[in-house]
Structure 1
Amino acid sequence: MNAPATRYYDAFLQAILEGHSNDDAVAALLAQPAFAVYRNTIFKGCVDALVANYPTVRRLVGSAWMESAALQFARHHLPRQASLIAYGEGFSEFLCTVEAVRELPYLPGVAALDRCWTESHLAADQPMLAVAALHIALEAGQDVTLVPHASSRWHHDMQHPVYTIWSANRSEDGQAELAPEWRGEGALLTRPHAQVQWQPLSLGACRFLDACRDGFSIARAAGQALEHEPDLDIATMLGQLIQADAFTSFY
C-alpha cells in the first residue's frame, strides 16, 4: 500500500473510531449523515457479537452494563475478520482494566470460559485419540507425547471459583444464586460429539495440558503437574482427560 493510501486509511479509521478527522476528504465524508449510520452500524455489529459470544458475562452483569463494556472494547479492538462469529478475543483481559469490575473480580475468569466455549465450538474437526494404541504404548513403557484435540480448551483461575459461577450461569435456566467456596477453580471444555461439553479441572491437570500443548512427553508433563499440585493422582487425572476426549493423537 502506498503512502497516500495508507494516510487515507488511517484517517478513515480515525473517523470511525473517534468521530473526527483532520483529512479533508474523510472529513467531508464524516459530515454526511450516512456516515454516522455507517459508523453506528459497525459498532452495533461488534456489540451484538460480543453480547452473543459472552452470554454468561451478560447474564451476570445485565444487558445495559454488558453493552456499555462491549462498546468500549469495540472502540479499541475492531474485528480482524469480516465474520463476527469469533469476535471477542482479548475481552477477558480488557475486563481487567474496567474500574467497575473490581467489585466483580471473578468476571474476567468467567469471560475467559465464555471465550473457551466459543473457541471449542469453532475449532477444526479432528479424529479422537486411539485409546487402545495408547494403552499398548504405555504398557510397553514408552514415554509418549499427547497432542491436545483442536477443540480442547482449559482455563484455571488461581483465586476465584469461576467454574462454579460460569457453569451455573451459562444457560438462562441456570442457577443464578450461588454461595461457592471462595477458592481457585479450573475447567476443561471439549467437543467430542459436535457439542461442547465442560467439567471442572484441577490446577495440576491444567498444567499437564499446558505441557502437552508445548510438546512435553507424558513424564515431563506429569512433572509439571505435580509441581503445581503435589497430591495429584496422575493416573486418575490422565484417565479423566482421555475419557473427556481431550486428545487427538500421540507420538
Structure 2
Amino acid sequence: MHLSDFQDGLAAALQPSPDNAVPTPAWLTALLAQPGFAVYRNTVLAACIDTLQANYPTVCSLVGADWFRAAAGVFAHAHPPADGRLMDYGAGFAGFLQGFGPAAALPYLPAVAQLDRCWTESHLAADAPALDATWLGSQPPGTLAQQHLRPHPAARWAWCDDHPAYALWQRHRDQWPMDADLLWTGDGGLLTRPDSAVVWCALPHAGIAFMDACAQGLPLEAAATEALVAEPATDIAALLMLLLDAGALTEAAADAAAPAPCSKETR
C-alpha cells in the first residue's frame, strides 16, 4: 500500500459524513472497527462546527449558540471540508440556510449569513492598491466617462430586497443596540479591505448596480447608467466618492479577474 493511499483513506474516514459508496479496504475496515476511532471523527466534526461558528458570528448571535451549532452539525455532515485550512470553510452555508426547515421562521437569516461570508472573503482576498478621491481629481474630464474601473479584490457587496439584512448585520458587528427604530425594508452593504482590516458601509441599490457593472468590465459612463436605472435620483458624483472613500475600486488590469459580488444569492 502506498502512503498516499493510506492518507487518502484515513482522511475520507475522518470526514463527518464519509462516502459509503466507495469500497472500504480491509485495513480501513479494521481501523474503523476500533471504538476509539469515533473520537477522532467527532473531533473533526467539532472542528467544522467551531469553524462555522467563527466564520458566521452574526448568524450565531442572532439565533444563539445552541441553535447554530445544531444547524452547523447538519451542514458539516452534508458538506465536509475539502481543504484542511478551515478559514475558508462554509462557503455554501447561506444557501444551506435557505432550505433548512428550522430557519424558515427567520427569512432574513440567509442574507445575514451571506454578509458574514462576504467578511471572510474580503479578509482572505488579495491585496491591491485602492483608488481614492485624488485619482478622480487627476483624470482629464473628457476621458473620465470611458475609464474602466474594477472592484478592489477584497470588495464584496450584497443586496437583500425584503429584509434589512445589512442593518441587522451591522448592528451586531458594531455592537449597536437593536432599537425599535430599525426600518424593516430591503437594504445593501459594501465590505472591503483597502488596508489591513475589513471595513463596511451601507450601499444603496444604485451602488450595487454600479459595482455589478464595474465587475462586468463596463466603463464609468455605462456603470453610471446602470446605477441610474436602479435609482433614477442617484447623485452619481456622490456615489463615486462613497466608493472611492471606502477603497472599493481599483484601476482595471487586462489580466485581472473581477471579484464576484455576494449580492446574487441574497436578492
What's the TM-score once normalised by structure 1's chain length? 0.87
What is the aligned partner in structure 2 of residue 149 from structure 1? Answer: 152
Aligned counterpart for 1:201 among listed residues 195, 199, 203: 203
After TM superposition, list the pairs within 5 Å mapping 1:93-108 onto structure 2.
93-108=95-110
Tell whether the 8 Å contact from 2:224 to 2:236 is kept in structure 1 after alignment: yes
Q: What letter corresponds to residue 38 of structure 1 in structure 2?
A: Y
What is the Cα deviation at residue 21 of structure 1?
7.9
Work out whether residues 16 and 42 of structure 2, in 8 Å CA contact, stay in contact via their aligned partners in 1: no
Could you give the per-residue CA deviations for residues 29-51 of structure 1, whole angstroms, max 9, x where no partner exists? 32212321121111111100000
- Residue equivalent to 2:231: 229
Shift of 1:177: 5.0
Deviation of 1:12 after TM superposition, in Å, equals: 4.0
Q: State the identity as a percent.
A: 43
What per-residue deviation string (whole Å, max 9, x for no partner) do you get for residues 46-71 of structure 1?
Answer: 10000001111001100011001111
Go from structure 1 to structure 2 and tell me whether the alpha carbon gap of 1:10 and 1:43 turns closer, same or farther (over 3 Å shift).
Answer: closer
Query: Structure 1 unaligned runs (5+)?
Result: none
Q: Report deviation, 1:82.
A: 1.2
How many equivalent residue pairs? 247
Aligned equivalents of 1:124, 1:179: Cα separation in 2: 38
For residue 27 of structure 1, report the CA deviation from its aligned partner: 3.3
Identify which of 119, 122, 129 aligns with 1:120: 122
Among residues 48, 72, 76, which one is paired with 1:70 in the alignment?
72
* C-alpha separation in 1, matches of 2:93 and 2:185: 23
Deviation at 1:141, TM superposition (A): 2.9
> Counterpart of 1:140 in 2: which secondary structure?
helix
1:78-227 map, 5 Å: 78-129=80-131, 131-142=133-144, 143-170=146-173, 173-176=175-178, 178-227=180-229
CA contact (8 A) 1:11 1:21 kept: no
Compared CA separation, residues 50 and 185, structure 1 to 2 (3 A): same
Shift of 1:178: 4.5
- Is 137-146 or 42-51 further displaced after alignment? 137-146
Alpha-carbon distance in structure 2 between the residues aligned to 1:226 and 1:131: 21
Q: Is the 8 A contact 2:132 2:247 kept in 1?
A: no
Secondary structure in 2 aligned to 1:51?
Answer: helix
1:23 aligns with 2:31: no
CA distance in 1, matches of 2:149, 2:102: 41
CA distance 1:10–1:127, change in 2 (3 Å): closer
Deviation per CA, 1:193-248: give whole Å up to 9, x if none.
31111111011111110111111111111222222222222111111101111112
- 1:17 is paired with a residue whose SS is coil
Q: What per-residue deviation string (whole Å, max 9, x for no partner) do you get for residues 97-155 of structure 1? A: 11121211111111111111111112111112264344333513341111111111110
Q: Judge conservation of contact 1:130–1:249 (CA < 8 Å) in 2.
A: no
Q: Is the 8 A contact 1:155 1:206 kept in 2?
A: yes
Task: Quote how far apart the aligned CAs of 1:85 are.
Answer: 1.2
AA at the equivalent of 2:52: L
Cα 1:28/1:210, change in 2 over 3 Å: same
What is the CA deviation profile of residues 161-189 of structure 1, one whole-angstrom value per residue up to 9, with x for unaligned ones?
01111111125x44245452111100011
Q: Residue type of the partner of 1:191? A: R
Partner of 1:155, secondary structure, is strand
Q: Check 1:183–1:33 CA distance in 2 against 1; reply closer, same or farther (3 A cut).
A: same
The unaligned stretches of length 5 or more in structure 2 are: 254-267
Instruction: Read off the aligned partner of 1:127 and give its amino acid letter.
Output: P
Kindly report structure 1 stretches of 4+ aligned residues shifted beyond 3 Å.
Answer: 7-24, 130-136, 176-179
- CA RMSD of the aligned region, Å? 2.7
Conserved 8 A contact 2:16-2:45: no
